[in-house]
Amino acid sequence: MMKQNMKNIRIFSKLVVVILLIASNSFASPQLDVKALSALPENEIDIGIAALVLAKEVFPELDVQEYSAKINTITSAVKTLTRGSTDPDYRVRALNTHLYKDFGMKYDLNDPYVKNLQNRYINGILDTKKGSCVSMPLLYLSVAQRLGYPVYPVSAPQHIFLRYVDPKLKLQNIEATGGGGNSPDEEYIASLQISFGAVAQGTYLKTLTYREYLGLLIEQNGIYWGRNNDIERAIEYLEIAIKLNPRAADSIKSLGVAYRIQSKKVQSQLSQDYEKKANDCFAKAEQLGATDLELNNYIETQRQAQEKFRNNPK
């Protein structure tokens, strides 16, 4: 009897330790900041938590754990649909079924240029179920990662799509703004005016690591601070972003813009130094094959380019 009691005590003690560890981890994550996020190794990055930590800078009242739980709810629902299947096509279909039909995620056509901050951050799409080419792939990826699926982000000019990396899956690209359907690389090249040089250098259409994608998320906050006249903070964030993703041509251009603005705020040699840094960034972005998309009538232009490709894919 005593042996059984001792065994029960040991089991209870271990359970208490596990509960404390879970509690400490769950409440530690909101304390992360940009520098701490950027220092995380690949296997310790939770895209959902990272996105929420960054969103909290813009929406200070945001409860990271509350919104992380919302991601978990979606994740659990998709897991139920997959019924343990390891077939990648079945998994993608389950993700699409729940995210677009059950949860109701859809593109906010009233905000084609993503001026509404809610459409740039993951809390916005969790609240409204509407999003953009920024927030829709972000939520999709956050769920897929928590399911343990090999889904990764892919960068294109002013756009992010996803890729399910598994040789068993023939059509790996996932267009989150299009119901989770597939668009081939050639369609992105044609519709987003991507040069072959940019593809060859890995500027666009390269499967990104979580750390590289984290750089793009941090870039977004850098742009936010720049637009709110905190140029020094914007520069800090953009420099971190480029360290995480050195071939992110759009991030490099954003840093160039920030350097140029800062050059007009200081004087003498310091101004010249910032101007030189700005020019170096613009030259580097051009070397990497950065694409400058025409934003006027963006959605209609993209629709026409996609139709043209699909009618004549060669």
pLDDT in tens, 267-291: 999 999 999 999 999 999 999 999 9
Location of structure tokens 């010249």: 272
- The rounded percent of the chain whose pLDDT value lies above 90 is 82
Q: What pLDDT does 246 receive? A: 97
Structure confidence at residue 301 as a pLDDT band (50, 70, 90): low
Q: Give the number of other CB atoms < 10 A from CB of residue 309.
A: 18
Mean pLDDT for 30-57 is: 93
Residue 114, pLDDT > 60, answer yes
Mean pLDDT for 201-229 is: 97
- The full DSSP string for 260-281 is HHHHTTS-HHHHHHHHHHHHHH
Residue 260, pLDDT > 60, answer yes
For β-strands 173-174 and 130-131, DSSP reports them as unpaired
Q: What pLDDT does 32 receive? A: 79
Q: What pLDDT does 31 receive? A: 61
Domains defined for the chain, CATH in brackets: 42-183 (3.10.620), 211-287 (1.25.40.10)
The residues near 78 (Cβ < 8 Å, ≥ 6 apart) are 94, 95, 98, 99, 143, 147
Q: What pLDDT does 18 receive? A: 31
Q: Give the number of other CB atoms < 10 A from CB of residue 238.
A: 29
Mean pLDDT for 24-33 is: 51
The pTM score is: 0.87
pLDDT in tens, 157-176: 999 999 999 999 999 999 99
Q: What pLDDT does 22 receive? A: 34
pLDDT in tens, 187-210: 999 999 999 999 999 999 999 999
* Closest by CA position to 132, among listed 143, 144, 151, 117: 117
Residue 217, pLDDT > 70, answer yes
Q: What pLDDT does 299 receive? A: 60
